[in-house]
Amino acid sequence: MKVGLVQLNATIGDFPGNAKRLLAAYRECLENGADIVVAPELALVGYPPRDLVFKSRFVPSCLQALDYLAGEIGEVPLLVGYVDHHPHEKAGKWFRNGAAFLQHGEVREKRWKTLLPTYDVFDERRYFEPADHCEPIEWNGKKLGVTICEDIWTDDYLDRPFYEREPVTELVDAGAEIIFNLSASPFHLGKPAQRDEMLGKVAKEAGVPVIYCNCVGANDQLVFDGNSRVLSPNGSVIASLPGFEEAVAVVDAVSGGVLADPMEDCEQLWRALVLGVRDYVQKTGFNSVCLGLSGGIDSALTAAVACEAIGADKVHGLTMPSPYSSGGSVSDSFALANNLGMRCDEVGISGILGEVQSAMAPLFEGMEEDVTEENMQARIRGLLLMSLSNKFNHLLLTTGNKSELAVGYCTIYGDMCGGLAVISDLPKTRVYDVCRWLNREREVIPWNTIEKPPSAELRPDQKDQDTLPEYAVLDGILQAYVELHESTDEIVARGYDETLVRWVQRRVDLNEWKRQQAAPGIRVTSKAFGMGRRMPIVQRFQG
């Protein structure tokens, strides 16, 4: 059996556009001899549609697009993900996450997603009713087992099984000779390897080939990495599509096909960030971006990602020295812009800062200068950047990293101004790793930017480590507390100082209010601040 894998980048709610692209990919598979073609979960819809499904015309528009698509399908079937109504006369949710089997100009069969995740970034039980049974589709003398994403994630990969049912087992018991999985599995570092391990185990235990078709692209905070696979009954990968890019391929379910090259961690992070920025900018209708350049490593990496994503000619940098800025902050900013081929302008803020300080002086009389005056500088810069954004219709990118955002080492309405927080899920130590990887062949990020001590430059001779612990230590504590949910005692048992651990935990908890007002960020770790982490602002639990 030759299977066409359609690894496409869908836009949420663009039913005509998604249908046309699916049809073009389907026809490409026909030209390459496909016997059957498979597309990802909700490929006609875009994932995740979230509360759009409640809009009165959303699901009918999807079904209209499905009918159009079906009318163009001939002898070779197309298996595609979509959203459907759940009959009103039945109890349960109003909608279903479905897979449609299209052939001979019609929707021949429908199958529903059985396991609906409600954890991390997923909230499918809010919308969908699960399938009450699993039944293969009979086609061409074969029985095809159709599953949708979570339906194959039944292994004890999170220390405990989430579900009592196992759709793959049910399908194989009903005679399924091959398992198809239509997927919308979002990326985080380590996920592709975890996914391969899971898929191999599923194929081996079921004793049948597994065809895994994952979507690619970015929608809001989520990046989907593709990496579609074909696995033999012994659990080995015999064909694979590349990560982080659209791809259409026809592969043999028995003998396999081309294997995509593996990627190291830094390349995965880089490509996820680039894809996240490209899709966010293009799908929201912007043509260009702007950002502040401080001469530091965070803004440098953000600029490099943006230039790769949309082209250096569409990236506008602004360096805004204050009385406390080093000469290097300006020169390194222009060196970066020269390396990347992007525009950079300079607007000093010393005069503006003096005016603001003079205006507030009567109210602050007799009081020492403190973080208030530091934050004035960040907020002046935010004002200038937002003005640049408004005037030229640039999307403003924020440049803070995950380590800073976690402990509140950022200024609300200042350096947090913007529409997309590009590296807000990238810990500072990873920022350094990716920048060094980026410079592996030539200098992209100025080496001086990488090697100099990080500083906010909001007071004389300021260094980040005046306020924060060494980033390697901070990131280790943050990973344990934020991503692994460990307690004080568990983190201390890893070898960290208890006083420092409690200080970091307290800073994370106290700054929840800032993060809930922050720009959306691109998720690249297993637990990002944003839609996958729901913490109350007002709470007193310490542990």
The answer to the question of whether 33 is labelled as a binding residue is: no
> Which amino acid, residue 109?
E
pTM over the 0.85 mark: yes
Provide the CATH number for the domain formed by 2-254 in this structure: 3.60.110.10
Partners of 216 in the β-ladder: 225
* pLDDT tens profile 194-246: 999 999 999 999 999 999 999 999 999 999 999 999 999 999 999 999 999 99
Closest CA to 44 of 73, 75, 23: 23
Topology given in CATH for the domain delimited by 269-464+511-515: Rossmann fold (3.40.50)
CA distances from 391 to 313, 342, 383 (A): 17, 18, 12
The answer to the question of whether 467 is labelled as a binding residue is: no
**Is 20 tagged catalytic?**
no
**Is 149 tagged catalytic?**
yes
**Portions of the chain given CATH number 3.60.110.10:** 2-254
| Radius of gyration (C-alpha) of the chain in whole angstroms | 25
The answer to the question of whether 222 is labelled as a binding residue is: no
Q: What is the 8-class DSSP label of residue 28?
A: H
**Portions of the chain given CATH number 3.40.50.620:** 269-464+511-515
- Which has the higher per-residue pLDDT, 543 or 536? 536
- Alpha-helical regions (H) of 365-408: 371-392, 402-407
pLDDT band per the 50, 70, 90 thresholds, residue 129? very high
Catalytic residue among 29, 134, 149, 307: 149
The full DSSP string for 300-338 is: HHHHHHHHHHH-GGGEEEEE---TT--HHHHHHHHHHHH
Element containing residue 514 per DSSP (H, E) = helix 512-515
**Is 41 tagged catalytic?**
yes
The answer to the question of whether 368 is labelled as a binding residue is: no
- In sequence order, the 6+-apart residues with CB closer than 8 A to the CB of 104 are 73, 74, 75
What size, in residues, is the chain? 543
Catalytic residue among 29, 41, 109, 486: 41
The answer to the question of whether 219 is labelled as a binding residue is: no
The full DSSP string for 134-146 is: --PEEETTEEEEE
The answer to the question of whether 426 is labelled as a binding residue is: no
Catalytic residue among 113, 314, 402, 428: 113
What mean pLDDT value characterizes the chain?
95
The answer to the question of whether 404 is labelled as a binding residue is: yes
* pLDDT tens profile 29-45: 999 999 999 999 999 99
Q: Measured between alpha carbons, how far is 4 from 229 in angstroms, rounded to an integer?
A: 11
